[in-house]
Structure 1
Amino acid sequence: MAKLGKGLAALALSTSFVTIAQAAETMRCSHQLPPAHHIAVVVDKWAAEVEKLSEDEIDVQIFGADSLVKANDNILAVAKGDIECAFSLNFQWGKTLPLMNVTVGPYTMSSIEAWKKWPTSEAAAFLEEKLAEKGIKNIAWMFQTNTSVFTSKGKPLTKPEDFQGLKMRGIGPAFDRGLVAMGATTVSMPGSEVYQALATGVIDAAITDVAAAYSRKYYEVQDHMTVVPVLAAYLHGYVNPAWYDGLSDKSKAALKQAGEAAAGWALEASIEASAHAPDQLREKGVTVHIATDEENAAFQAAMQPSFAEGFAEESGEDGKKLLELIKKIK
């Protein structure tokens, strides 16, 4: 009987472990960034923090580099419930929610001090409401860059006239208007496809985060890069609302706390990456030019009116309200 009792106890213990294991909520998170990207590292750190704070109630599974869902399909996949979670760059919302493009306005929000205030700002809360209307629950804001590069081959892009006749990877309808105003033709494609497009001549040039130019190895296919504070970009994490509603209070609190922590980590990592990237690119043989105040003023004058017109058309009264809220933190 003793042996039988021990056997039953072992079986009961085993069953309890299975029950606990089954109770863990699987959270598949898709994003497009390569493993070496500084924000991809932050996403991994965030995932570990969620598991720790939820005491393993949530099993976070990260799928980077477009390995689960393609970048342009992430939003719909989460809204439909095909996956639980994804991270997207703000300009990937395109015309679906053009308000998300507000920070890519040429020279609109490049202040690090403003970005420190962003996650808890009225502007961010306003966007979270609009994201909810599109069928997703926002859980994290991760500042990625306020320092971009215009990449090119053969000669640098240092003034608006240099863009005449270039075929470039664009980042979204409103911002691309500024590139077109300078004479470029824009092509839409995911970040993961840009390297190959540059290598094969499908496009002549690109605009990207200065750190991404290094982590995506653009230096192998472009030899000139002009550093410009032309736009600010962020990655944001979001989940399926129905999945979120099924979580325990502990798990919901874990997501909130981890998201707040990750916002700080992303800001620190982005500042560091932007500081080191120009020298890293130079070490790879790239001619790096830091745009002067005069050059930035010329780019702003050429690009900003077209962006403002496009953003106003796409976002309407909501866009005006968001710009007013952003003024409070600039």
Structure 2
Amino acid sequence: MDKTKNMNSTNGVVEEFTLLGLASFPKLSIVLFILLFVIYILILTGNLLIMVTVHLEPRLHSAMYYFLSKLSFVDLCYATVTIPKMLKDFISKSDTISPSGCITQLFFLHFFAGTESILLTVMAYDRYVAICNPLRYVNIMSKTVCYWLESLCWTASFLHSIIQVVMVCQLTFCGPNKIDHFFCDIHPLSVLACSDIFIIEIVFVANSGMISLICFVVLLASYIGIITTILNTSSLEGLGKAFSTCASHLIVVTLFFGPCVFIYLRPPVSYAADKMVSIFYTVLTPLLNPVIYTLRNQEVKNAIKSLIGKKLNK
């Protein structure tokens, strides 16, 4: 019998999993730790800066920036679900995780990923209202509506995540216990199951597919309306402002949804590219979002400069 299985299972039930990560490249551990640590600090700094700026700057107290600050909060939490554990594994000889820890990580991973998906969709709708109904924008996107939309994001993503977790909890793991990934996720975990995963596999894809389909339809409808309005705009200044307003959001949507569609809208089959793609949407997207929104948004840049100036002049 396999020695690893003996050490990590009792009565045929796995008691802990081993995250392989980049186990085949141990000499890179220190370099990767330093790189990932710097990235994590930048993620925390960038997203916290946007949250504080939106909160303190009265000029940014609108629906657009309200949702931007929530996106920064979700990005910060999303990165924190995986990166600290990855940092620990890079420098520790123990890269194991308990089944309960694995399930917890999986829950919060999908909870914050689902929240970000729906939040980006809500932000697309916000841009649609701002461009297509500018005179009614303040009334349509009132504080009450913003609160309801935010509640929708959290509630829907919770339901999405809890379904994933309930399905995973139906699986039996009796060995092997090595997860070929940096963190616990649906596909690399389900392929280790000893039980039949056919029905659960369908539920996984249907659950992710449903939330992706709804988000895609709303995003598509919003941007069809936006593009139609832009094309009918005779003013070059209005055209430029509308394009600038939407460009940042389109970039973020593409960076986030592209890798997620590749990973989750297919059966649980492991591909060599999965680990690299997952790093993109769990690490690079939270890092790039604050950069994209600040570099392409003059109001945010001016607000940050104003706040820094006030602090320096005190």
Using structure 1 for the length normalisation, give the TM-score. 0.26
More helix by share: 2
